[in-house]
Structure 1
Amino acid sequence: MDRDSVDVLLIGGRAGSGKTTVGWEVSARLAAAGVAHALVEGDLLGQVHPAPDGDPDRVGITERNLAAVWRAYAELGCRRLVYTRTVCVLPEYGDMVRRAVGVSEGSEASDASRVRLIRVLLTASDETATGRLVRRELGSRRDAELRTSALKAPMLDARAPSDTVRVATDGRTVVDVATDVVAATGWLGAR
């Protein structure tokens, strides 16, 4: 891997597909193999209420926060990022990630061309996703999460670029799913 390049593993998928859990397992497997990387849960980077003026979907604030977090990791020499977020495999969000992590040390300008994206879309049937969400969502957001998960699954499948690796999570262990996700990166054996 070129010292100036950055590899970003984007793990997307509907709510209840296992993004966060798989992201943590991917990170654990990479760490055990001695592969330097950082893990960022993208959904948390836009958690500000109310939404900033002119940024109703909080994409701008997410990009700013990711750039700030990535800059700190890059200063430590990090060149690989595992990034989880529901819609991160979509082209417009890939572009946002490229801009955010393409900012090099000591520069305000982004060089998105030095960022390689590896897109993985985790899939789960309605039954599997609903079961996971019912167990996980115990508060007032449960019904909304169930509705948006059902809407986002077909949208993500239709709009994810053709180079997106799809990994089914139904009836599989987290370790098995993470094995497939890590294999998509080509990072094992890299340091």
Structure 2
Amino acid sequence: MNQAEVLLIGGRAGVGKSTVAWEVSALLRAAEVAHAVLEGDLMGQVHPAPPGDPHRAGITERNLAAVWSNFAELGYRRLVYTNTVSVLPESAAMFEHAMGSHVRIVRVLLTATDTTTYGRLLGREIGSELDREVANSMRRARFLDEHAPTDTVRVATDGRKVTDLAREVVAVTGWGPQ
């Protein structure tokens, strides 16, 4: 397989993107499927934002391209990438620039109710940003629901085991055991 492929796992804060991505990686490792995992939020985590890049999209793309170049040089062709809005159509250009114009993009949008995500965020946000994260999560959920492309697979996470979620996500990619 020479074509690069990326699994984009998007969704509101508290939906379980990172947890599902790590379990997807565990399944792929067990099946001996070569892949890399990146937490997209970390690709642009700088303050203040670079001049002319208020949303940090430019620095994120540059970092993704640099990191992917290292993975590709070592022979990797599959990437699991998490980021809230990664499933949106405008993100495709970033992956095409970083991974090649023929990259195969698989979009999965994890969903959960406000009650579920609030409980998860309450356990995770131990600092001063809980209220901001909850408000942003609710706003992003509506935005993602309205703007995710039609080829995006939606996976509800409420009350489900992460192992079941990961199996469903891996099945969408066709990369490993079903």
CA distance in 1, matches of 2:99, 2:49: 23
SS at match of 2:107: strand
Counterpart residue number, 1:117: 105
Q: Distance in 1 between matches of 2:136 and 2:53?
A: 20
Percent identity between the aligned chains?
Answer: 65
- Aligned: 1:84 with 2:82: yes
Q: Counterpart of 1:73?
A: 71
Structure 1 Cα separation of the partners of residues 91 and 128 of structure 2: 28
How many matched pairs?
177
Matches within 5 A, 1:32-43: 32-43=30-41
Q: Please report how far the alpha carbon of residue 101 of structure 1 lies from its aligned counterpart in structure 2 after TM superposition.
A: 1.6
CA distance in 1, matches of 2:162, 2:9: 14
Residue 137 of structure 2 aligns with which residue? 149
Under a length normalisation based on structure 1, what TM-score does the superposition of the two structures give? Answer: 0.91
Candidates 39, 42, 45, aligned match of 2:43: 45
Corresponding letter in the other structure for 1:80: R
Deviation track 1:46-69 (CA, whole Å, cap 9, x = no partner) reads 000000011000000000000000
* CA distance in structure 1 between the partners assigned to 2:64 and 2:21 by the alignment: 16
CA distance in 2, matches of 1:99, 1:147: 32
CA distance in 2 between partners of 1:133 and 1:94 (Å):
28
Q: TM-score, normalised by structure 2?
A: 0.97
After TM superposition, what 4+ stretches of structure 1 lie above 2 angstroms from structure 2? none
SS in 1 for 2:14: coil
Q: Which residue does 1:169 correspond to in 2?
A: 157
CA distance in 2 between partners of 1:11 and 1:97 (Å)? 13
Shift of 1:94: 2.1
Report the RMSD for the aligned CA atoms in angstroms.
0.8
